[in-house]
C-alpha cells in the first residue's frame, strides 16, 4: 500500500489522516490494482505453512492471483500487459515475466505481456557493488581515510564475487556501510548520517540513515490501521492490521536458493525500460549504467552509438533518455530512490510514454524528448544544505577501467563527452493498449529497511543473505568490461522497432489517447484494491500477491 499512498496511487495521506489527490497518480490511463504480495505482507495473511520459500514459489503464486483476477474481469485479459516496479523489483520482476512467458509457451497465448520497466532496481550485484564506491567518490561522499578503507573493501568484494555471486554479498556491503560512516556527524549529542535513498538529505538519525523515510510513512501506517478503513476495504479478517514489513515472510525465505538471474524466455516482450533517480545511493545511476553497458542484447553490447536526448516538461529539463534495440534508460533529475514519491509529474510522464499515451502532455504541461541536440547543463539542486555539493551531474557519464588492480580508482577518471558510448534518449512510446503490473518492490524494500537498522557492515542485506543461489559467472563490472557474456543478456527482447516511432519531438504526431489500460500495482508497497479476494486463502496460499 506504500505505492498507493506514497508514490503512484491517486492519494496521499495528510497528517490529520485525511486524503489529498496526488498529482502524480497513474490512474488516468490505467486501471490500477494494488496487490499485497507475497502472502503475509500488508493486509494479506496465511498460517505458518502458507509462506513462500523461494522466488519461484512467489512467481507461481502470483500467476494464480492473475488467473483469478482475469476470471473475475475477463474483459481485461485482452489488453497489453506490462510489469513495472522499483528497488528489489529489479530482481523479482524478471521472475514474474519469465513465469508468464513460460506459461504462454506451454499453453499458447494467455498473458499478453509486452514489456517490463524497472526503477532504481537492484538487478546485478556484480556491477552495482562497484557503483557504491564510484558513485560515492563522484558525489564527494567518500573522503580521506574513509575513501582508502572503502577502496580496500571493494577489492575484498571483488575477491568474494570470484568465489560466488548472490544478490547480496556480505563483504561487499561493507563499502556502503563505510559511505554511511563517512557521513556520520553529531549535533547536540545526536548522531546523524546521510539518507541512503536520497543523498541530498544529510541529517537522518543514525544508524537508520533514512529507514524512516519517506516521513509520511508513519501517518500512512496509522491511516491503514483505522478500523473504518479496514472495514471499508473488507480487510477485517487480518487481525494484526496492515504491516509494511513481515519478519515471518522474510524468515521463510532465508534458505531460498533462487538464482538472481531467472531470465530465460523474454524475447516476446517489446518494451524494456530502466529508470534511475539522480540522487539515490543504494541503487544508483552508475550501477544501472554499468549493468546496461555490459549487457549484450539483440546482437550488440550496451547502447553503442545511441545518443542521449534531453527530456523536458514545460521547457524545464527533467531528465535524459537513451534508447537502443528496444531497451530504454531514463535518468530522472532530482530524483531519489522512490522517484514517484518526489518526482511525481516526471514519473507520470515517463510511464505515459511507456504506454504510448498522454499526447505529450502531462497534467496540462507539454513534454518532449529532444534528439540530437546539444546537451543542456543540468540545473543545480535548489535544496540548499541538502544538495550533493560539487557532485558531477548524473546526466553526464563516466567511462571506467574494469581491470582488477585499478578498478577502485575508476571514479576519478576524466568524464567523457555526453555523446560517448552511452549516448542518449530517442524518446519512447510503447503500444497504446496496455495492461500494466506495477511491482514497486514490496519484498525487497522492506528487507532493505530492516537490514539497515544496525551499524554492523554485515547487516545491510542480512535478510537477503541466503535468498539467492551461487553462480559461477565471470566478473563483469564497469563499462569497459570486454566480456560479452552477461547474466542479464536475455533481459531485453528482440523487437528492435518498438521505439522507432516515438521521438517525442514537438513535431511528432501526438499519440492518440487510449483508456484501455490496466495496471496491477504490485508495489513494495502492499495494497489491496481487490476487495473481494480475501477469501482466496481458503483455496490457495497464493491469493494475495503483494
Active site residues per annotation: 87, 280, 337
8 Å CB contact between 428 and 353: yes
* Calpha distance 153→173 (Å, rounded): 9
List the grid coordinates of 291.
549493468
User: For strand 518-521 and strand 435-438, is the pairing parallel, antiparallel, or unpaired?
Assistant: parallel
Total length of the chain = 546
The cell numbers describing 468, all together, are 539467492
- Alpha carbons 248 and 245: distance in angstroms, whole number: 9
Distance CA 500, CA 356 (A): 12
Residue 382 per-residue DSSP state:
-
Phi and psi, residue 319, nearest 5°: 170, -165
CB atoms < 10 A from the CB of 468, how many? 22
- The sign of the dihedral angle between the CA atoms of 252, 258, 264, 266 is positive
Pick from 281, 274, 275: which is nearest to 391 by CA?
281
**Contact 520/438 with Cβ under 8 angstroms?**
yes
Helices 144-163 & 173-183 angle (0-180, nearest 10): 170
| Other beta carbons less than 10 A from residue 529's beta carbon | 16
Start-to-end Cα distance in the chain = 9
Amino acid at each position: 500500500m506504500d505505492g498507493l499512498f506514497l508514490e503512484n496511487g491517486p492519494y496521499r495521506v495528510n497528517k490529520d489522516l485525511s486524503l489529498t489527490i496526488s498529482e502524480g497518480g497513474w490512474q488516468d490511463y490505467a486501471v490500477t490494482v494494488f496487490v499485497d504480495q507475497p502472502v503475509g505482507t500488508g493486509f494479506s495473511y496465511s498460517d505458518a505453512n502458507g509462506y513462500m520459500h523461494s522466488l519461484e514459489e512467489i512467481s507461481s503464486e502470483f500467476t494464480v492471483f492473475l488467473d483469478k483476477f482475469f476470471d473475475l474481469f475477463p474483459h481485461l485479459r485482452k489488453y497489453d500487459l506490462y510489469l513495472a516496479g522499483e528497488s528489489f523489483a529489479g530482481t523479482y520482476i524478471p521472475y514474474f515475466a519469465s513465469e508468464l512467458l513460460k506459461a504462454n509457451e506451454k499453453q499458447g497465448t494467455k498473458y499478453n505481456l509486452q514489456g517490463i520497466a524497472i526503477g532504481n532496481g537492484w538487478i546485478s550485484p556484480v556491477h552495482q557493488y562497484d557503483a557504491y564506491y564510484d558513485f560515492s567518490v563522484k558525489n564527494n561522499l567518500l573522503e580521506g581515510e574513509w575513501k582508502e578503507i572503502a577502496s580496500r573493501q571493494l577489492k575484498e568484494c571483488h575477491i568474494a564475487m570470484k568465489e560466488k555471486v548472490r544478490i547480496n554479498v556480505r563483504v561487499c556491503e561493507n563499502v556502503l556501510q563505510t559511505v554511511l560512516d563517512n557521513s556520520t556527524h553529531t549535533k547536540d549529542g545526536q548522531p546523524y548520517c546521510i539518507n541512503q535513498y536520497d543523498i541530498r538529505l544529510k541529517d537522518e538519525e543514525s544508524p537508520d540513515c533514512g529507514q524512516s523515510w519517506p516521513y509520511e510513512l508513519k501517518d500512512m501506517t496509522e491511516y491503514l490501521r483505522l478500523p473504518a478503513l479496514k472495514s471499508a476495504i473488507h480487510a477485517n479478517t487480518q487481525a494484526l492490521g496492515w504491516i509494511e514489513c513481515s519478519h515471518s515472510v522474510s524468515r521463510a525465505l532465508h534458505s531460498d536458493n533462487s538464482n538472481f538471474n531467472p531470465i530465460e524466455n523474454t524475447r516476446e516482450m517489446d518494451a524494456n525500460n530502466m529508470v534511475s533517480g539522480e540522487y539515490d545511493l543504494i541503487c544508483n545511476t552508475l550501477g544501472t549504467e554499468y549493468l546496461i553497458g555490459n549487457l549484450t542484447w539483440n546482437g550488440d553490447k550496451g547502447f553503442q552509438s545511441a545518443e542521449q536526448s534531453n527530456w523536458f516538461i514545460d521547457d524545464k529539463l527533467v531528465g535524459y533518455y537513451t534508447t537502443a534495440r528496444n531497451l530504454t534508460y531514463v535518468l530522472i533529475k532530482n530524483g531519489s530512490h522512490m522517484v514517484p514519491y518526489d518526482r511525481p509529474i516526471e514519473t507520470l510522464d515517463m510511464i505515459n510514454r511507456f504506454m504510448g499515451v498522454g499526447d505529450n502532455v502531462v497534467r496540462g504541461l507539454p513534454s518532449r524528448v529532444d534528439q540530437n541536440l546539444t546537451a543542456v547543463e543540468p540545473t543545480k539542486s535548489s535544496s540548499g544544505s541538502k544538495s550533493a555539493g560539487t557532485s558531477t551531474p548524473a546526466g553526464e557519464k563516466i567511462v571506467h577501467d574494469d581491470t582488477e588492480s585499478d578498478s577502485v580508482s575508476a571514479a576519478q577518471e576524466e568524464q567523457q563527452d555526453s555523446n560517448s558510448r552511452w549516448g542518449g534518449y530517442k524518446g519512447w512510446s510503447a503500444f497504446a493498449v496496455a495492461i500494466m503490473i506495477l511491482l514497486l518492490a514490496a519484498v525487497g524494500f522492506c528487507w532493505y529497511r530492516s537490514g539497515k537498522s544496525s551499524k554492523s557492515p554485515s547487516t545491510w542485506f542480512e535478510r537477503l543473505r541466503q535468498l539467492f543461489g551461487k553462480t559461477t559467472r565471470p566478473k563483469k563490472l564497469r563499462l569497459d568490461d570486454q566480456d560479452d557474456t552477461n547474466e542479464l543478456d536475455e533481459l531485453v527482447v528482440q523487437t528492435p522497432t518498438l521505439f522507432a516511432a516515438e521521438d517525442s519531438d514537438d513535431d511528432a504526431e501526438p499519440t492518440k489517447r487510449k483508456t484501455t489500460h490496466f495496471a496491477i500495482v504490485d508495489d513494495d508497497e502492499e495494497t489491496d484494491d481487490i476487495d473481494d479476494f480475501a477469501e482466496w486463502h481458503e483455496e490457495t496460499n497464493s491469493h494475495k500477491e503483494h
